[in-house]
Amino acid sequence: MTAQYSGDKKTPVLRLENIVRAYGPVRAVDGVSFDAYPGQFIALLGPNGAGKSTLFQLLSGLFTPDSGLIDVMGHDMRRDPVPALAGLGIVFQQSTLDLELTVRGNLLFHSGLHGIPGAIARQRIARELDRLGLSDAADNKASALSGGNRRRVELARALLHEPRVLLMDEATVGLDIQSRADLRKLILSLRRERGVAVLWATHLTEEVVDADRVIVLHKGKILRDTTPAELLASTGKASIEDAFLGLTGSPPKAAA
């Protein structure tokens, strides 16, 4: 059996306090606050336009909020961005692998960017590829991989610097049903093994059912931050999709 994380689970690894980001009159993120704890799989559920991408861009340091605090492992993202960003692993919605490089080449390049010494990088690359079932593909060009395996390489890459928070922005977009389910299962077990907090943005209700927490985002605001079971109980609905519809008046898959 795989070892489970046995460290501190009570100190938040990510804290958001009253984050606001507007584009002109549109408050894309409008007063969002929550904490994420080690080992939690948190689904951020919202339709197109809910503010998920904007929130992820703020979390990944691409730009700063108009107001509010983002804290990663005790480091304020605005005042102390380097250690804050070092605590985050990110898998973007769009693939960002260099398709001309091998799998190992992609991972070595990223290790270099993070200043991970060569011997340690090689050890970690071997460990992650083994964990993700990709050891045999290490010397293949990224272009030769299936969509599901490319995502796995991006996941391996996001884990190389041993982040405590893993951000996955609609990471299953473009994958077939089996690959989507496999990726989610993998993340669910990794978060227990590594004690990493996972923030999984999605507009797909079926990706929420086995989350530890679901945060319902609508028009930039958090409508609920709860468990999937409590979301159903409190709305009196039989499915997450109906619960979402009841809360927002719009189905999660439709444009807002």
Question: How are beta strands 67-72 and 75-76 bridged, if at all?
Answer: antiparallel
Looking at beta carbons only, is 41 or 56 nearer to ligand ADP?
A: 56
Establish if 62 lies at the interface with ligand ADP (CB under 6 A).
no
| Of the residues 7, 26, 146, 251, which one makes contact with ligand ADP according to CB under 6 A | 26
| Of the residues 53, 149, 205, 248, which one makes contact with ligand ADP according to CB under 6 A | 53
Looking at beta carbons only, is 195 or 252 nearer to ligand ADP?
A: 252
| Of the residues 32, 43, 50, 198, which one makes contact with ligand ADP according to CB under 6 A | 50
Establish if 195 lies at the interface with ligand ADP (CB under 6 A).
no
Establish if 65 lies at the interface with ligand ADP (CB under 6 A).
no
Q: Give the CA-trace dihedral at 152, 88, 111, 79, to 10 degrees.
A: 160
Compute the distance between CA of residue 232 and CA of residue 63 in angstroms, rounded to an integer.
Answer: 35
| Of the residues 39, 49, 89, 195, which one makes contact with ligand ADP according to CB under 6 A | 49
Nearest to 44 by CA among 203, 184, 231, 237: 203
Establish if 23 lies at the interface with ligand ADP (CB under 6 A).
yes
Looking at beta carbons only, is 16 or 28 nearer to ligand ADP?
A: 28
Compute the distance between CA of residue 212 and CA of residue 215 in angstroms, rounded to an integer.
Answer: 10
20-28, 131-139, 146-154, 226-234 -> range binding ligand ADP (CB under 6 A): 20-28
45-53, 138-146, 149-157, 238-246 -> range binding ligand ADP (CB under 6 A): 45-53
Buried b (16+ CB within 10 A) or exposed e, 29-63: bbebebbbbbbbbbbbbbbebbbbbbbbbbbebee
| Of the residues 4, 11, 48, 227, which one makes contact with ligand ADP according to CB under 6 A | 48
87 and 33 Cβ atoms separated by less than 8 Å: no
Sign of the C-alpha dihedral, residues 77, 112, 98, 176? negative
175 CB neighbour count, 10 Å cutoff:
17
Looking at beta carbons only, is 80 or 206 nearer to ligand ADP?
A: 206
At 14, list the tokens.
């990510």
| Of the residues 40, 43, 52, 124, which one makes contact with ligand ADP according to CB under 6 A | 52
Q: In whole angstroms, how close is the CB of 48 to ligand ADP at the nearest point?
A: 4
Beta-bridged to residue 165, according to DSSP, are: 88, 197
Beta-bridged to residue 27, according to DSSP, are: 22
- Cα Rg of the chain (Å, integer): 18
| Residues at the interface with ligand ADP (CB under 6 A) | 23, 26, 28, 46, 48-54
